[in-house]
Amino acid sequence: MELTVECQKRPEGSQPNALRRGGMIPANLYGHKGTEAISLVMNAKTAETMLKKASVNNTIIDLNVTDIPWRGKTLVREVQSHPYKGNLYHISFFAVAAQDSVDVEVPLHFVGDAVGVKQEDGIVDTLATSLQIRCNPNSIPEAIEINISNLHVGDSLYVRELVLPSGVTVLGDTEQAVVTILSPQKTTAAAVEELEAEAETESASASEPEAEE
């Protein structure tokens, strides 16, 4: 998904609180020109509408700075809000070139009815809800779909087993379990301990040198 948003360069000497009272939100643009940053302002309603559709580090924003002029693809890197009122305070954009790869976080969507639930009275336990990936900014998946239909009680799916879109690389630990099917008696904590113990055993076995004949 890609959104188009307009903003303007922030007037020199303007105060953030005064801008907010006037219905504008301060923002910054990074990465458009080396290490240089531009101070921007955007309409508060435009910003709120954008954030209803966009996710931090996930959605490409076609940002049009009308009075510089500059237009390009960006990611929302940071959103700051009032600590208890929830009012939008500040937005940071980061420019991305079409040929660059970007590091983003995408949600995991679990689909299907696991055999271990339907036939074995098991319980689905999701151990991760998102995944850090690297990909082209034009190919950011909205989510990664994981089919759990064939999982039985005691089965788990690991990051290394996920079917990823072309051009997507996982960042972080590929041995992390993302979902497991628990027996009705087993708690989540017990399942995590068991998975960690299995991973340690496999790691230890892999590191042991083979005996010479």
- In the chain, count of helices (H) and strands (E)? 4, 13
Burial class (CB in 10 A: 0-12, 13-18, 19+), 162: middle
Contact between 108 and 129 under an 8 Å Cβ cutoff? The reply is yes
Distances (CA, A) of 176 to 27, 75, 117, 139, 156: 36, 27, 22, 24, 10
Q: Which amino acid is at 11?
A: P
Q: How far, in Å, CA of 5 to CA of 7, rounded? A: 7
Determine the Cα–Cα distance for residues 170 and 159; give it in Å rounded to an integer: 8
Residue 2 has pLDDT above 90, yes or no: no
- Taken in order of first residue, the domains within the chain and their CATH numbers are 2-95 (2.40.240.10), 102-206 (2.170.120.20)
Q: How long is the chain? A: 213
Amino acid at 131: L
The alpha carbons of the chain give a radius of gyration, in whole angstroms, of: 23
Whole-angstrom distance, CA of residue 100 vs CA of residue 194 = 40
Whole-number percent of the chain with pLDDT over 70: 87
Residues 68 and 195: their CA atoms lie apart, in Å, by: 54
Show the tokens assigned to 154: 């005691």
| CA distances from residue 69 to 34, 41, 65 in whole angstroms, order as listed | 17, 14, 6
Q: Report the pLDDT value the prediction gives residue 207, as an integer from 0 to 100.
A: 57
- Report pLDDT for 213: 44
Q: Encode pLDDT of 193-207 as tens digits.
A: 777 777 777 666 665
Let me know the angle formed at the C-alpha of 135 by 176 and 60, rounded to the nearest 5 degrees.
115
Beta bridge mates, 198: none
**Residues 39-69: pLDDT tens digits?**
999 999 999 999 999 888 888 899 999 888 8
Per residue in 82-103, pLDDT tens? 888 888 999 999 998 766 788 8
Average pLDDT of the chain, as a whole number: 87
Q: How many Å apart are CA 110 and CA 178, to the nearest integer?
A: 10
Element containing residue 194 per DSSP (H, E): helix 188-207
Q: Cis before residue 107, ω within 30 degrees of 0?
A: no
CB 88 within 8 A of CB 149: no
